[in-house]
Amino acid sequence: MRHSTTATSASPVAIKLDAADRLRLQSLAEIRQRKPHYLMNEAIRQYLDREEEREKFKQHALNSWREYRETGLHLTGDEATQWLQSWGTDNAQIPPECHE
């Protein structure tokens, strides 16, 4: 999930890099014909996107676990596997019903 920013909303942030990482960044920037600043911005955006998705996945898993504890409804691994293996075949199955 990308958040758009405008030039007026951007503000500087300092980051300390050790000499080895700074050299790696500079080298990669030269290879890619980009500024180190661009690569750092892109790395931070990708990290934030990935971590936001990870948090959504974690919250979904926790909600699913809470719902299972409250209701006891579930599918077995075999039931889910059989259904998933039918996808894209002439014998595609409807999703199985959850049960206790």
What are 38-79's pLDDT values in tens digits? 999 999 999 999 999 999 999 999 999 999 999 999 999 999
pLDDT (0 to 100) of residue 7: 57
Global pTM exceeds 0.85: no
Given a cut of 60, is residue 5 above it in pLDDT?
Answer: no
Q: How confident is the model at residue 9 (pLDDT cuts 50, 70, 90)?
A: confident
Whether 98 contacts 75, CB under 8 Å: yes
pLDDT (0 to 100) of residue 47: 98
